[in-house]
Amino acid sequence: MAILEVNHIQKSFGGTAVLKDISFSLEKGQVLSIIGSSGSGKTTLLRCLNFLETAESGTIRVNGKTLFDGENHKQLSDGEIRKNRLHFGLVFQSFNLFPQYTVLENVMLAPKLMKKAPAAQLEQRALQLIEKVGLSNRVNNYPCQLSGGQQQRVAIARALALEPDILCFDEPTSALDPELTGEVLRVIRGLKNADRTIIIVTHEMEFARSISDRVIFMADGVIEEEGTPEQVFGNPQSAKTRQFLSSSLEHF
C-alpha cells in the first residue's frame, strides 16, 4: 500500500493557480525527487503536504488515513493540524536552527516539548541521531560555530527526532558551497539505505537520478512528467522536460 496518496490538490495565491490538480503516490521506503524550474510550484506542494499552506481542494492520505480533505478541511482543529503535521519532517534550504540552542538542544527540543519520552531517553535518542549525521563531536556547539553543511545535518537530525513517516527536503543543498554539498547528500543517501521514505526537491540532477525511485517533473503547477529516473532523465517524453533537462545540464 502507498504510504502517501495525494489526489487532485489545487492551490492558488491571489487568484493565480499555482498547483493545478496534482496527484501522485509514494510507496514506503521510496525516494521521490521533484524537479522543475523556478516558480513551478515545488515548494508550495511541500508546504501543502506539511500543512504550512492549506490547499483549496484535493485529498492527502498517509498510511490510508485521510489527513486532508479539501471538502471539509475547515473542520480541522489546530490540534488536529499539529498532529497531521507530525507525519512529515521538513528540512529547508536555510537550515532554520534555533541559534540560542546547542546541537543537542536543537534536536531534543520538539520531542521534549511533546513529552514523547522521559528526558534521559530523549537525550539518548538525540545523541544517536546526531551520531548518524556524523556530528558526535559537536553536540555542545551552537549553530554559529558550525559550517552550513554541519548545520544542515543538524536540521536533518532534528527532523528525524519526531519520527516522521515521510521526510521532505526542499533544496537542502542549494544554500551550501559546493564542497559542503557532498556531506549533506551522503547523509540523505544513508537515510535511503535505512529505508526512510523521502521526498526531495532538488536541483542536483545527478543526485536525483541516482537516489530516486520516482521522479516528478513539475512545470507551471502541473506534473508534466513522472516516472523512474531512467524514464524521466533517460527518455523524457515531454518537450518541456527535455528542455528543462538540457538547460540544467548546461550548468555543469
Site of interaction with ligand ATP (CB under 6 A)? 13, 18, 36, 38-44
Task: Find which of Mg ion, ligand ATP, none residue 41 binds, CB within 5 to 8 Å per kind.
Answer: ligand ATP
Task: Find which of ligand ATP, Mg ion, none residue 13 binds, CB within 5 to 8 Å per kind.
Answer: ligand ATP
Rounded Cα distance between 152 and 158, Å, is 10
Least Å from the CB of residue 208 to Mg ion: 15
Least Å from the CB of residue 199 to Mg ion: 13
Decide: 201 and 171 in contact? Cβ < 8 Å.
Answer: yes
CA 12 to chain centre: 21
Least Å from the CB of residue 189 to ligand ATP: 22
Count CB-CB contacts under 10 A for residue 32. Answer: 23
Decide: 146 and 95 in contact? Cβ < 8 Å.
Answer: no
Task: Find which of ligand ATP, Mg ion, none residue 182 binds, CB within 5 to 8 Å per kind.
Answer: none
Task: Find which of ligand ATP, Mg ion, none residue 11 binds, CB within 5 to 8 Å per kind.
Answer: none
Comparison of 42 and 73: residue with beta carbon closer to ligand ATP = 42
Comparison of 17 and 139: residue with beta carbon closer to ligand ATP = 17
Sites of contact with Mg ion (CB under 5 A):
43
Comparison of 42 and 158: residue with beta carbon closer to ligand ATP = 42
Query: Is 217 exposed, middle or buried (CB count within 10 Å of its CB: 0-12, 13-18, 19+)?
Result: buried
**DSSP of 190-223:** HHHHTT-EEEEE-S-HHHHHHH-SEEEEEETTEE
